[in-house]
Amino acid sequence: MSQKTYDLRRVLESALILSLDTPKISPMHECYYLIPTPWLDAWSSFINSQSSVPPPRLNLSYFLNVDGHLKQGLSPIENYRAINSTQYHVFLYLYSTDSSPPQIRSSVDLYSPELSNKRIEEYVKSGSIRGRIEVNRLLIRVREGGGLGGAEKVEREVEEEEIASFIRT
């Protein structure tokens, strides 16, 4: 991928994730997805041009022991961050994940009770649909040579296959 494509990716991803940020969720209608802080730090390094390559797939096995149970002693901010469903699904469409299950909660506490499958299904559906829509909008803006929000116009020489290659679906 060319440097121009990586620079474009940084601007668009950052603007998209920030535009989807919500300070709080409504526990009756939304949920938190917990993601490892080390992965989010690697993503931030890429977005802020401190790393030349994007992070690998989202490593959800970070939360689990070898036996598949939750690791003990993980704490918010230091070990994991909470994001909303749409942000999670944007990351999922852009980066994919390992085969471990997502950690979905109604609070920021990893050790709080897991949500029922019915509630998870409702949250996943809306976040997944909106996440897919937002990623598609991002691709359209790239193809049209336009930015996202206040992002600069990009040059039309960005190759179509380079644009598609940064989406891992």
pLDDT in tens, 50-85: 888 889 999 999 999 999 999 999 999 999 999 999
What is the mean pLDDT of the segment spanning 29-46? 93
Mean pLDDT of 111-125: 82
More confident residue, 141 or 152: 141
168 phi, psi to nearest 5 deg: -100, 95
Summarised one tens digit per residue, pLDDT across range 106-115 is 889 999 988 8
User: CB-based contacts of 90: which residues, under 8 Å, 6+ apart?
Assistant: 16, 17, 20, 131, 134, 135
Strand partners, 84: 32
The band of 154, judged by pLDDT with boundaries at 50, 70 and 90, is very low
Whole-number pLDDT of residue 151 = 39
Q: Which fold has domain 3-165?
A: DUSP-like (3.30.2230)
Q: Are 145 and 155 in contact (CB under 8 A)?
A: yes
Q: How far apart are CA 128 and CA 76, in angstroms?
A: 24
Quote the percentage of the chain above a pLDDT of 70. Answer: 82
**The model's pTM:** 0.80
| Domain limits, the chain | 3-165
- pLDDT computed for residue 39 by the predictor: 97
pLDDT at 169: 37
Report the sign of the C-alpha dihedral through residues 101, 32, 84, 121, in that order: positive
